[in-house]
């Protein structure tokens, strides 16, 4: 069973004016509202709003409203279908042109392109192999300085991250 603590919530005030209070969850709401000026003002504001909304006239919908809405939905769905078909057609055209280009280039054209690419990447591969052969010795020699630098860089980072963490909550028994 939930009891009232503090002032009424907006939901409780709304249920009170609509006479929909639940005895299990809204125990004490009516009693509190009758004795608290702040809650009386909240309930009265909801009563006034309810009266004002009740006096509004609901406009009459046109007789073809549903048909127009359904027509608009169909138009939007057809447009989306056209866009999907256009995108699939464009992707198929790109694949077709790429395939025709490869066929037109033939084995000699493709071989030339692969050869040019391998000549371009060869110096990069040699540099990478050389760097990998030197790296273990370099890391071994610089192990302590690297440790100190990474520690010096990570401590402020960890401190900043710890400041972003919410404080630990302690529960009283």
Is 167 contained in some domain?
no
Same domain, yes or no: 48 and 69? no
Alpha-carbon torsion angle 98, 101, 107, 113, nearest 10: -80
Whether the model clears a pTM of 0.75, i.e. scores above it, the answer is no
Quick one: pLDDT band at residue 2, thresholds 50, 70, 90?
Answer: very low
Is 88 contained in some domain?
yes
Please give the pLDDT value at position 11: 87
- The helix/strand/coil state of 3 is strand
Q: Structurally, how many domains does the chain consist of?
A: 2
Compute the distance between CA of residue 173 and CA of residue 161 in angstroms, rounded to an integer: 31
Is 113 contained in some domain?
no
Is 139 contained in some domain?
no
Arithmetic mean of pLDDT, 75-96: 91
Please give the pLDDT value at position 162: 78
Same domain, yes or no: 35 and 71? no
Arithmetic mean of pLDDT, 128-157: 82
Is 27 contained in some domain?
yes
Compute the distance between CA of residue 169 and CA of residue 171 in angstroms, rounded to an integer: 6
Is 135 contained in some domain?
no
Range of the domain at 78: 65-94
Same domain, yes or no: 48 and 72? no
Is 43 contained in some domain?
yes
From its phi and psi, is residue 2 left (phi > 0), alpha (psi between -120 and 50) or beta?
beta
- The helix/strand/coil state of 169 is coil
Is 143 contained in some domain?
no
- Say if residue 131's pLDDT is above 90: no
Secondary structure percentages of the chain, helix, strand, coil, to 5: 75, 0, 20
Same domain, yes or no: 50 and 71? no
């Amino acid at each position: 069973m939930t009891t009232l603590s503090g002032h009424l919530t907006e939901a409780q005030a709304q249920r009170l004016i609509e006479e929909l209070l639940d005895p299990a969850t809204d125990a004490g709401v009516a009693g509190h509202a009758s004795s608290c000026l702040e809650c009386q003002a909240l309930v009265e504001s909801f009563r006034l709003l309810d009266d004002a909304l009740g006096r509004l006239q609901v406009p009459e919908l046109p007789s073809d409203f549903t048909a127009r809405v359904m027509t608009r939905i169909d138009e939007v769905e057809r447009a989306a279908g056209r866009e999907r078909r256009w995108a699939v057609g464009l992707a198929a055209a790109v694949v077709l042109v790429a395939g025709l280009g490869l066929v037109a280039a033939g084995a000699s054209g493709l071989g030339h392109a692969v050869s040019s690419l391998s000549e371009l990447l060869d110096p990069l591969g040699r540099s990478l192999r050389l760097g990998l052969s030197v790296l273990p010795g370099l890391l071994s020699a610089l192990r302590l300085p690297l440790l100190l630098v990474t520690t010096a860089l990570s401590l402020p980072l960890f401190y900043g991250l710890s400041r972003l963490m919410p404080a630990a909550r302690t529960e009283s028994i």
